[in-house]
């Protein structure tokens, strides 16, 4: 995709606050986070986990924002186990 598409998409996501709707999510939700993530904080992930019903939080140590790239097999294993 062209960079302009990504920029427009991200701008739209940042412009609207959907946090009030998180408690309405009905689907089981897997939250994965790396403790070296420079974009999102542990507190934000814990808040998501507390707000979204039926959520599961997985912490990846010594891992940044791209945990699916840093630990692809572990990520796939966790995702498959969650989906069962």
Our CA dihedral for 80, 46, 22, 70, rounded to 10 degrees, sits at -40
Structure-token pair, residue 15: 């412009």
Query: How much is the average pLDDT of 13-31?
Result: 90
Greater pLDDT, 29 or 10: 29
Domain ranges of the chain: 3-83
pLDDT digits (tens, 9 = 90+) for 37-82: 998 999 999 999 999 999 999 999 999 999 999 999 999 999 999 9
pLDDT digits (tens, 9 = 90+) for 44-54: 999 999 999 99
Q: Would you identify the CATH topology of the domain 3-83? A: Rossmann fold (3.40.50)
Output the pLDDT for position 11.
81
How far apart are alpha carbons 29 and 48 in whole angstroms? 10
Query: How much is the average pLDDT of 5-33?
Result: 89
């Amino acid at each position: 995709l062209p960079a302009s598409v990504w920029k427009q998409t991200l701008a739209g996501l940042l412009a609207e606050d959907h946090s009030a709707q998180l408690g309405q999510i009905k689907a089981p939700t897997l939250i994965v986070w790396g403790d070296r993530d420079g974009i999102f904080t542990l507190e934000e992930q814990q808040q998501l986990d507390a707000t979204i019903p039926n959520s599961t939080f997985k912490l990846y140590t010594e891992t940044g924002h791209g945990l699916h790239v840093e630990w692809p097999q572990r990520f796939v294993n966790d995702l498959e186990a969650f989906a069962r």
